[in-house]
Structure 1
Amino acid sequence: MKEQLEAIQAEALERISQTENIKELQDIKVTFLGKKGSLTGVLRGMGKLSKEERPVVGEIANKVREAITAAFEEKNEKLEIALLEEQLESEAIDVTLPGRPVKVGGPHLLTSIVEEIEDLFIGMGYEVREGPEVETDFYNFEALNLPKDHPARDMQDTFYITNELLLRTHTSPVQARTMREYKGEKPVKMICPGKVYRRDTDDATHSHQFTQIEGLYVDKHVRMSDLKGTLDIFAKKMFGEEREIRLRPSFFPFTEPSVEMDISCKVCHGTGCNVCKGTGWIEILGGGMVHPKVLEMGGYDPEVYSGFAFGMGPERIAMLKYGVNDIRQFYTNDIRFLKQYHKA
């Protein structure tokens, strides 16, 4: 048995010294020192030895195990160092090379426009409110003076989910929800940005999905002149201090009186061109004084409270401000278009 142990040691040390592969080295260790290894197999036969032989053979076996383990660890350390040096050499970085610039993204043009409008109105004391895009018929229409079978509903072809659920056609429902939340107990001064949906045919100026920002101010003694002053500040901040505005009579079911607001054309400065179709003015948004029935539905006494509301489309504002001639460009995710408006 002594000769067997010495032969195992000699063979193991020889194979360890010759291998240059860590995986192969591990296999050698298992072959000789594993549960089913050569050394273990020899030691299982010690039961057949006499009492005098067992201590001697046991001592030899321990020395063999120690010799093989020491050789394995030494070889394993050498191979790991060699592998690390090879990896460092193959992955070497030339620190003298110029750095590669990292492309940084930015907010979408519409996001920037919405945030710019929000900042403007927050500065005037408005709060930003949001509401559900899947809305009830009551808040989308009835609470805004548009009862069932009202002819004005034809102006807003709608994506209905059920008879009482729909994709909102404007963000005005947020105004109705806010008034009912306040229960007529305090003033309302808010804007509500968000996506809206209508069954429009997609073309250069229309989309079945677009964004809106609507504003509402309800308090005692609110007048039309307050609306005009607010919109004048908005126009000058968004399009330049030289912009002028005009209000034209219009009709909206939820405001009375109602107006359309135009801004003076920045191209021709009011003299007339193809951009403003020769009028010198460009329509930008609609608004008016909140209809008494809308105030009542929101819980406000129209004999005590009055208010104004307005609504605008960020896409239209962006198109006018930056000269974009096709609304679909905002949604095609063409990086060549979007990066033109990225402020680094």
Structure 2
Amino acid sequence: MLQDKITQYSAEINAFSTSNADELEQFRIKFLGTKGIIKDIFDEFKAVSPEEKRTLGKVLNEFKQLAEGKYQELKEQTAVADTAKGPDMDLTLPGEGFEVGSRHPLALVRREIIEIFNKLGFVVAEGPEIEDDWHNFSALNFPEEHPARDMQDTFFIKKATEKDESGDIALRTHTSSVQVRMMEAGKPPFRAIMPGRVYRNEAISARAHCFFHQVEGLYVDENVSFADLKQTLFYFVQELYGEGTKVRFRPSYFPFTEPSAEMDISCTICKGAGCQMCKYSGWVEILGCGMVDPNVLENCGIDSKQYSGFAFGMGIERIANLKFEIKDLRLFSENDVRFLKQYKTSLI
């Protein structure tokens, strides 16, 4: 009978004792394994009459708890015994600590830039790194003959042909493509920044790389002016580099903004006195900016007579160079642990 089996096996469990891990494992397999005694008894239990189930159900559960309790008890005793037998183990010695990691300097700068613009109401927008011609060039007012479309500046994945007129596909050369996608998908006002990695076919040196990181910004609404742009960027510089940092704007040209400007700040390394970083001018360019060209707004389905906006873009590597006084931007992508360990104190 099933009751007799349970009584017999219970006695065997109570009598079992060991401090050997292998013997304990055999006990577990015999009673608690997937093909063990307890599973077999539960399978037999399914075939008994309803009257017997009322009586045997409680007994069977107690039998299972007995086996599990015995195994757990012996397991703990065996672990203590194994620890005590360790000839070279001194439990009074202090433990070995874990080495604390560090954030990448570009990640630190990226986060700080995002936090500053978040205070002004800018949200973060992201987009694909592989882009078509429309979002990367045409919608941004790049003429067909613009040099940026040449193979020397852009990593093209697929070039349009007479048989395939779907357009060029390339690694994005700027995160301005995210601005186009945002304006196409929604309605003003827009207030967002677009951090991300971009790619350009350039020779790698201490001052240039074939990939780098940008943060671009866009603000489109009614009655947005160049004064709004200047005050936004002035606030950003004061927050990032300190209140004593000077700012100047120089006229420039970008296909997607008009008027356009480049913004310089007083060199944070020499404090304007002149050094190698600023080429002894006392000023360092950190970003380009301007009012969004009406053609770009119209390309994205926005009425340029009702809305205006400004845009700006900066390289995170350039910002990090000034903030941490790193002169060779190749260090950012070499994963040299000695270099990264310098930023252990910048985890929070």
TM-score (norm 2): 0.72
Instruction: Give the letter for the 2:253 counterpart.
Output: F
Q: 1:286 to 1:209 in 2, by over 3 A?
A: same
Q: State the partner residue of 1:289.
A: 291
Match of 1:89 among 79, 84, 88: 84
Q: State the partner residue of 1:138.
A: 134
Does residue 102 in structure 1 map to residue 106 in structure 2?
no
Q: State the partner residue of 2:122.
A: 126
* Secondary structure of the structure 2 residue equivalent to 1:338: helix
Give per-residue Cα distances to partners, 1:141-187, cap 9 Å, x unaligned: 001001433345349711111122111000000000000111xx321
Percent identity of paired positions between Structure 1 and Structure 2: 51
Instruction: Give the letter for the 2:92 counterpart.
Output: T
Q: State the partner residue of 2:183.
A: 179
Match of 1:268 among 261, 266, 270: 270
Give the Å deviation of 1:82: 9.6
Take 1:81 and 1:277, find their aligned partners in 2: how far apart are those partners?
Answer: 70
Match of 2:282 among 280, 296, 299: 280
Q: How does 1:317-328 map to 2 (within 5 A)?
A: 317-328=319-330
Give the Å deviation of 1:223: 0.7
Match of 1:223 among 222, 225, 232: 225
* Secondary structure of the structure 2 residue equivalent to 1:337: helix
| Contact 2:102-2:340 within 8 A present in 1 as well | no
Instruction: Give the letter for the 2:250 counterpart.
Output: R
Match of 1:252 among 246, 251, 254: 254
Give per-residue Cα distances to partners, 1:165-213, cap 9 Å, x unaligned: 111000000000000111xx32111100011111011110111111111
* Secondary structure of the structure 1 residue equivalent to 2:330: helix
Instruction: Give the letter for the 1:180 counterpart.
Output: E
Take 1:323 and 1:133, find their aligned partners in 2: how far apart are those partners?
Answer: 29
Instruction: Give the letter for the 1:255 counterpart.
Output: T
* Secondary structure of the structure 2 residue equivalent to 1:200: coil
Take 1:215 and 1:80, find their aligned partners in 2: how far apart are those partners?
Answer: 61
Give per-residue Cα distances to partners, 1:16-58, cap 9 Å, x unaligned: xxxx9967xx8xxxxxxxxxxxxxxxxxxxxxxxxxxxxxxxx
Give the Å deviation of 1:107: 2.0
Take 1:215 and 1:318, find their aligned partners in 2: how far apart are those partners?
Answer: 18
Take 1:82 and 1:126, find their aligned partners in 2: how far apart are those partners?
Answer: 60
Match of 1:305 among 280, 304, 307: 307
Q: How does 1:27-176 map to 2 (within 5 A)?
A: 87-91=82-86, 94-151=90-147, 153-154=149-150, 157-163=153-159, 164-176=168-180
Take 1:84 and 1:94, find their aligned partners in 2: how far apart are those partners?
Answer: 16
Provide the aligned length of Structure 1 versus Structure 2.
277
Take 1:340 and 1:179, find their aligned partners in 2: how far apart are those partners?
Answer: 40
Take 2:295 and 2:77, find their aligned partners in 1: how far apart are those partners?
Answer: 85
Q: 1:311 to 1:82 in 2, by over 3 A?
A: closer
| Contact 1:156-1:169 within 8 A present in 2 as well | no
* Secondary structure of the structure 1 residue equivalent to 2:287: strand
Q: State the partner residue of 2:10.
A: none
Take 1:175 and 1:22, find their aligned partners in 2: how far apart are those partners?
Answer: 65
Q: State the partner residue of 2:52.
A: none
Take 1:252 and 1:155, find their aligned partners in 2: how far apart are those partners?
Answer: 19
Q: 1:102 to 1:149 in 2, by over 3 A?
A: same
TM-score (norm 1): 0.73
Take 2:321 and 2:82, find their aligned partners in 1: how far apart are those partners?
Answer: 55
Q: Quick check: which has more Rg, 1 or 2?
A: 1
| Contact 2:277-2:327 within 8 A present in 1 as well | no
Q: State the partner residue of 2:339.
A: 337
Take 1:132 and 1:283, find their aligned partners in 2: how far apart are those partners?
Answer: 28
Q: 1:201 to 1:89 in 2, by over 3 A?
A: same
Take 1:132 and 1:80, find their aligned partners in 2: how far apart are those partners?
Answer: 54
Stretch of structure 1 that moved more, 108-117 or 268-277 = 268-277
| Contact 2:21-2:78 within 8 A present in 1 as well | no
Q: 1:89 to 1:225 in 2, by over 3 A?
A: same
Q: State the partner residue of 2:68.
A: none
Take 2:304 and 2:22, find their aligned partners in 1: how far apart are those partners?
Answer: 87
Take 2:148 and 2:219, find their aligned partners in 1: how far apart are those partners?
Answer: 24
| Contact 1:220-1:304 within 8 A present in 2 as well | yes
Give the unaligned 5+ runs of structure 2: 1-19, 27-73, 160-167
| Contact 1:152-1:253 within 8 A present in 2 as well | no
Give the Å deviation of 1:97: 1.6
Instruction: Give the letter for the 2:85 counterpart.
Output: S
Q: 1:84 to 1:307 in 2, by over 3 A?
A: closer
Take 1:21 and 1:152, find their aligned partners in 2: how far apart are those partners?
Answer: 70
Take 2:102 and 2:290, find their aligned partners in 1: how far apart are those partners?
Answer: 36
Q: 1:237 to 1:80 in 2, by over 3 A?
A: closer
